[in-house]
Amino acid sequence: MKIEFHTKGVILTSKQKSGMQKKLLKTKKFIPDEPITVDVILQDESSPEKGGIDQAVQISATFGKEKIFIEETDDRLMRAFAFALKRFERKLQHFHKKRIDENKKPGGLRFEKVLGIIKRKNKIKVDEEEE
């Protein structure tokens, strides 16, 4: 899992960054076999000059053909990250469950792979017998 942090108008300490990385790495259990790229964007939505204190966290992930984008805003950066992380985990669980359900169906992905292997072996045997 490749995690990249981008900040705009926010100071991110190394302790905060390592804590966020640890929490994001725990979500890898839902997609263990695919390479995943996660971009975390931390930004100050409305700085004190603009008259506000909103902090925004955006988490975007790409794995295989799937893309996930989550955005949360709060007055505290770590709380916004916690909310975004919860939503991100739920999305990953949804995709993981969806993939498992597809594999269990008779016409699912796994069944088709096994059937394809059997057909190839039978074709090879038939071709050998014809020669």
Determine how β-strand 55-63 pairs with β-strand 2-8. unpaired
Contacts of 129 (CB under 8 A, 6+ apart): none
Could you tell me the pTM of the whole model?
A: 0.71
Question: How many CB atoms are closer than 10 A to CB 34?
Answer: 13
Phi, psi of 116 (to 5 degrees): -65, -40
Domain ranges of the chain: 2-103
Residue 125 has pLDDT above 60, yes or no: no
List strand residue ranges (DSSP E) for 16-99, in order: 37-44, 55-63, 66-74
Sign of CA dihedral 116, 122, 126, 131: positive
2-103: CATH homologous superfamily?
A: Ribosome hibernation promotion factor-like (3.30.160.100)
CB 118 within 8 A of CB 125: no
pLDDT, tens digit, for every residue of 66-122?
888 999 998 888 999 999 999 999 998 888 888 777 666 665 555 556 666 676 666
Q: What gap in Å lies between CA 51 and CA 54, rounded to an integer? A: 10
Token pair belonging to 12? 């991110």
CA dist 6 and 40 (Å) reads 6
